[in-house]
Structure 1
Amino acid sequence: MSLPVLVALVVFGIALSVAAVHFTGGTRTATLAGADQALSRFAEDFPDEAVTAIRLTKDGRTAFLGLEQARTGIVHSVGDCFLTRIVTAGDIVALNVDDGGAITLKLADFTWKGGRFAFADRSDAETVAAALGLYDPSLAKEAA
């Protein structure tokens, strides 16, 4: 078989594989339909945890769940699946709330570093940040 024919077959095979993954839903991003789905997904991994509050991000990709003992549960979409974490103040490297109602969270966990999470309004972002343990909304308002 000549080299040009072999190259053409390889390129066609790769393109066909990528198209098959895309059209079968492999590039779809999961979103949470609501608080009930977030609670259900979190309970699959942590069935013994008592959830006291649930706040979803604007895009529906992440939910922050208030837990007892100064901990926060997180359900976050990665591709078409969800990851779950329980975070304490000791797990947080950096936390910031911006004026647009978003928090930037950096974690010490090497498997998931956190990210930027936008909420419907700033008060939701401040509530989540305060629950994470390293943010005082009253100090932020004084600085503004």
Structure 2
Amino acid sequence: MSLPVLVALVVVGIALSVLAVHFTGGSKIATLAGVDQALSRFADDFPDEKVATVRLTADARTAFLDLGPARIGIVHSVGDCFLTRIVTPHDVLALDVDEAGAIALKLADFTWQGGRFAFADKADAKAVAAALGPHKPSLAKEAA
């Protein structure tokens, strides 16, 4: 078999594989249907935890669950699945709250380092930041 034919077959095979994954739901991004789904998903991994309050992000991809003094549970979508974490101020490398009602969170966990989370209500962002404080310098100060 000639090299150009082999290259063409490989390219077509890869393209068909990518399309098959996409059309069977492999590129779907999971979202939380509401507070009950966030509670249920968190309880799958942490059945003994008592949740006081659930705060969903505006895009419904992340939920922050108040677990008591200086402890927050997180349910976050990764692709079509969810990851769960319990975070304390000790786990936070940097935290910044902006005027738009979003927090930028950087975690010490190498498997998931956090991200930017926008809330519909600015009070939710402030409550999550307060639960994870005192914290290390903010991302804005770190960049300077």
Map 1:11-30 to 2 at 5 A.
11-30=11-30
Q: Is the 8 A contact 1:95 1:134 kept in 2?
A: no
Q: 1:56 corresponds to which residue?
A: 56
Superposition CA RMSD, Å = 1.0
Amino acid at match of 1:44: D
* 1:51 partner SS: coil
TM-score by length of structure 1 reads 0.91
Q: CA deviation at 1:70?
A: 2.1
Q: In the TM superposition, what are the counterparts of 1:1-144 in structure 2 within 5 Å?
A: 1-134=1-134
Alpha-carbon deviation of 1:97? 0.4
Percent of pairs with identical residues: 76
5+ residue gaps in structure 2? 136-144
CA–CA distance in 2 between the matches of 1:11 and 1:53? 50
Q: CA deviation at 1:127?
A: 1.0
1:96-130 Cα shifts (integer Å, max 9, x gaps):
10011000000011111000000002111101111
Amino acid at match of 1:41: R
In the TM superposition, structure 1's runs of 4+ consecutive aligned residues that sit over 3 Å from their partners are none
Tell me the CA shift for residue 25 of structure 1: 0.5
- TM-score normalised to structure 2 length: 0.91
Aligned residues: 135
**1:132 Cα deviation after fit:** 1.6
